[in-house]
């Protein structure tokens, strides 16, 4: 049976690889992959929260995503600057989608882990 750590790794890496495929496939249409990536990242956050026994709604997960505007801005800029170069733009878009998704996944994992540590240390005196 897989440990919590292994399950979280699988969740994050599956989402990251999927984000790379989405980013690569939709590279020539700036912004077209954003709704798909946000839905994927939202599902990833919900799944990570479930591994930490934290019931999180899609709405709450979307709120967490909104804390990463710099990553999305940089990604949009790279898409705009390289979107017209076939092949190269696909690789850049896939890479940035993967890096952002991976970062969000590990940040969410750290968030839920610290929340569990804090709540488990609050024992009544």
- Whether 105 is in a domain gets the answer yes
- Whether 73 is in a domain gets the answer yes
Helix axes 34-51, 88-120, angle to 10 degrees: 30
- Whether 70 is in a domain gets the answer yes
Instruction: Kindly report the pTM of this predicted structure.
Output: 0.77
Instruction: Output the pLDDT for position 13.
Output: 96
- Whether 74 is in a domain gets the answer yes
- Whether 119 is in a domain gets the answer no
Cβ count near 96 (within 10 Å): 22
In tens, the pLDDT along 6-36 reads 999 999 999 999 999 988 887 666 667 788 8
In tens, the pLDDT along 73-117 reads 666 666 666 655 666 777 878 888 898 899 889 988 998 888 655
- Supply the range of the domain harboring residue 68: 38-111
- Whether 94 is in a domain gets the answer yes
Q: How many domains does the chain have?
A: 1
In tens, the pLDDT along 109-123 reads 998 888 655 444 443
- Whether 97 is in a domain gets the answer yes
């Amino acid at each position: 049976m897989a440990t919590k750590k292994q399950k979280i790794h699988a969740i994050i890496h599956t989402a990251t690889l999927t984000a790379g495929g989405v980013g690569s496939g939709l590279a020539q249409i700036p912004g077209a992959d954003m709704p798909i990536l946000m839905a994927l990242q939202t599902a990833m956050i919900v799944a990570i929260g479930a591994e930490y026994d934290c019931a999180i709604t899609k709405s709450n997960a979307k709120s967490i995503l909104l804390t990463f505007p710099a990553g999305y801005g940089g990604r949009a800029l790279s898409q705009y600057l390289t979107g017209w170069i076939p092949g190269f733009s696909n690789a850049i878009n896939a890479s940035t989608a993967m890096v952002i998704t991976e970062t969000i996944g590990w940040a969410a994992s750290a968030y839920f882990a610290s929340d569990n540590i804090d709540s488990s240390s609050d024992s009544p005196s």
